[in-house]
Structure 1
């Protein structure tokens, strides 16, 4: 055991990177504290006098005195008048006891056949085991769901943000309404009623951080643990994870080339009271639900008292003709919960989405949201409201729609030119990605590995299927890539796949 104070040990600890940004007395105090906690300084060890230590370290005596004072206040050292400063015996006792407890726990774990978990709840373990969802944080071929961000009008956005800050001043620094800032709710309602054929008022809009937060709220408020909920098959991975981690039972409903099969809904006897659906642009097939099925869906929900969760995630980007009106606008029975996001139309880092709720659900969802994270940052909401009110949002969407339509054509041509044995599952009428199916004998897992070696990301299709039958393929995103980047990445992919 250490019997004397070793100055070199302290000097080495003072050199640690974690202490470099602190004031000098804080560095000495933190370094001594860490040595005590690590057991490098024994309980009862006498510390050098402040004058002696200051001289050894080349600092003022007051600097060391301030460090000792803080250590004494925190209980790490004791100071005896006329005797000096000592490492606290109490800290040493606690450290030795904690060390014994850790050793005992380690011995117990070694004796068990199965390793102990991290002490999570059952739901916590389920969430951890799911692996979460990995978002692409850089522009990369062929990642999905990434809009074009390099041409976003940041100068306009910054100007509007300065205006909002000037006009609202300190009020934007306070807590906001959990339901969302009124100017933004008005702008969203106006946009949806004019552009998406919705029928909603600002009072029905709930501003959130993302579609995933909306799905999490739906899972918590509309479905009990162990109860069924209906999802499209194949379908959005994030939706399935949100409901699974809420411990609901996901019941898949198959889709065809026209979207979800309403005949299977009519035949369902699971007892589920919710259906998650992407009617405007089915994820991942790209199918658009025809009007007849939309009306069947609405009548099914009304007759059986079900909730329709309509995810309209990229309906703005429809390239072949006009987009079909959203289900919410057709639903006179108020059984539809509408989900939208600005991550696809503007940029993912904005972290803002919204829900349009039937009147009876507005207060329950707002209450739940207030518990979850309070509110969305007010300055971003007010900036976005002005961006929409001044016409910049519609202008940006129109420009991106034209840009993405051209990139879709380039992507389809490039697939046909370079990839033998790959079939486009369905020429999508819109969206930001293209589903591709592999020919017999191809392995999705193997092609993903081959592509990764060439710096190309291939999001697999099979993970989007529930049940035993899973189609092998990819979902290729193109919206964030220029024509040159699409062609260059496709050539790298083709070369990688041809290497046996």
Structure 2
């Protein structure tokens, strides 16, 4: 067998705006799928590959982790890293394949060449067919659907059907249903400290839609955008699809490093932050950094996308005010979603927009999406207006807080010396850091076979090497199943250590 360092692994140049880690992952994946790298063939060592293409070693190891998590490569002591045996990769012609074979959805006879942007758009971090509704330990970012107020929602829905009018089935406003926007504004004024009215709010189907539209309206290919690293993969991919140049910024106990952003890209056009509960490390952006970020945005004529996805679930004291509450210069696009507050199937999100952007966003919504379901917006409006949203959030704070405590206690009792959790004060999940050198990607696969879902922190990495550990969800998991799941993890970690 040829030595790994002698393998002639020729890669295409990295396209403008694509992060190096994603480029390396895509190139090696394509080499495997096309057959240029055969099953069992060793890959160059991460150090050699980094030196050849002038990459950081962390970039290479993160790309390798992703490829290994998806089953394209494997590693073993004495063999190094090599191409996994997946059978005949899709796209490879095989000698026994009949030319007349009937096309299927997964293997169509006709191939399609996507545009450069199309190639970026299909790189989704989400499961195309959705996640199972019955959560398993420790599925992340999941509202507890068993605790959803079905009786109240059914009553309001039934009433809306009985009182059905043409206005509910006719054309809607691209801005969203005004009564719904008004009650969202009222909720934000009291719960998040955001001084806004319904006229400042636009309704979307998801925060992903907000990010996609913001990228298309505000960024040209190559424009710089500050990104938390590690950070939310959905934001990474949406902005990469717009061919933005993503600027990787480190995250610490005070949130994203704003000074580093000013140093690396002072003239960036946008910054994306999860200020209230950093995804995935859980830190809160400090007041000093919030003010400095807003000062930079004003001076640079840039916009800040504040994704406030789950910080209303704060288990001690009142939720911290949103960064938008400090936005005197009107540079923040504040995003919220009912997918986390209530249930993902509701598919309604919103944005509090800077005044200068409202008309442009509304017009582009009218072109690309038309408007969200008026009927669904009507039901949600009545649900909030009758006070059910506030009651549900308060009840979920108590329930999720109990489960956070149960997870912390179980990990301390069963996994002491193997895993470490920070104090859980907010949200639906928590970063769990391994105290050993166990490969988190490999261990997540082992855990999956045992019925446990763990999302490696490397899944959130952009260019920097993420801490060795996982994101563990607790919000939709009963305390009994949390205890059982931790016992399973203890057994698996003892065997792997």
Q: What interval of TM-score do these two structures reach, taking the shorter chain for normalisation?
A: 0.7 to 0.9
**Given the two structures, how large is their TM-score scaled by the length of structure 2?**
0.75
**Higher relative contact order (CA closer than 8 Å, sequence separation 6+):** 2
Give the distance between the partners of 2:259 and 2:342, measured in 1 at CA.
Answer: 37
In the TM superposition, what are the counterparts of 1:343-358 in structure 2 within 5 Å?
A: 343-358=339-354
Taking the aligned partners of 2:446 and 2:266, their CA distance within structure 1 comes to: 41
**Cα drift, residue 150 of structure 1:** 0.6
**2:234 pairs with 1:241:** no
The structure-2 alpha-carbon separation of the partners of 1:468 and 1:192, relative to structure 1 and needing over 3 Å to count, comes to closer
Describe the superposition over 1:343-377 as per-residue Cα deviations: whole angstroms up to 9, x where unpaired: 11101111111111011111111122222222111
Partner of 1:314: 310
Matching residue within 202, 209, 220 for 2:205 = 209
- Cα distance change, pair 238–131 in 1 and its aligned pair in 2 (3 A): closer
Deviation digits for residues 67-98 of structure 1, max 9, x if unmatched? xxxxxxxxxxxxxxxxxxxxxxxxxxxxxxxx
Match of 1:374 among 370, 376, 397: 370
Kept after mapping to 1: 8 A contact 2:184/2:198: yes
- Contact 1:176/1:375, CA 8 A, preserved across alignment: yes
Distance 1:169 1:438 in 2: 57
The structure that has the greater radius of gyration is 1
1:453-492 to structure 2, matched below 5 A, reads: 453-492=449-488
Q: CA deviation at 1:163?
A: 2.5
Map of 1:204-283 to 2, 5 A cutoff?
A: 204-269=200-265, 271-283=267-279
Do 2:455 and 2:470's aligned partners in 1 also have CA atoms closer than 8 Å?
yes
RMSD: 2.1
Instruction: Say whether 1:183 aligns with 2:188.
Output: no
1:497 to 2:493 alignment: yes
Q: 1 or 2, which has the higher helix percentage?
A: 1
Of 132, 142, 148, the match for 1:137:
132
Aligned to 2:67: none
1:149 partnered with 2:145 = yes
Alignment of 1:44-443 (within 5 A): 118-128=112-122, 130-134=123-127, 135-138=130-133, 139-269=135-265, 271-424=267-420, 426-443=422-439
Cα offset, 1:426, TM superposition: 2.8
How far 1:421 moved relative to its partner? 4.2
Match of 1:50 in 2: none
Separation in 2, partners of 1:258, 1:481: 29
TM-score, structure 1 normalization: 0.74
Cα distance change on mapping 1:275 and 1:468 into 2, 3 Å: closer
Q: Is the alpha carbon distance of 1:301 and 1:133 closer, same or farther for their aligned partners in structure 2, counting shifts above 3 Å? A: same
Contact 2:308-2:336 at 8 Å conserved across structures: yes
In structure 2, how many angstroms separate the alpha carbons of the residues matched to 1:289 and 1:270?
A: 19
Q: Secondary structure at the match of 1:285?
A: coil
Equivalence map 1:24-35=2 (5 Å): none
Note the alpha carbon deviations across 1:206-234, whole angstroms, 9 max, x for none: 11111111111111111112221111111
Unmatched segments (≥5 aa) in structure 1:
1-101, 105-114
5+ long unaligned stretches in structure 2: 1-97, 101-108
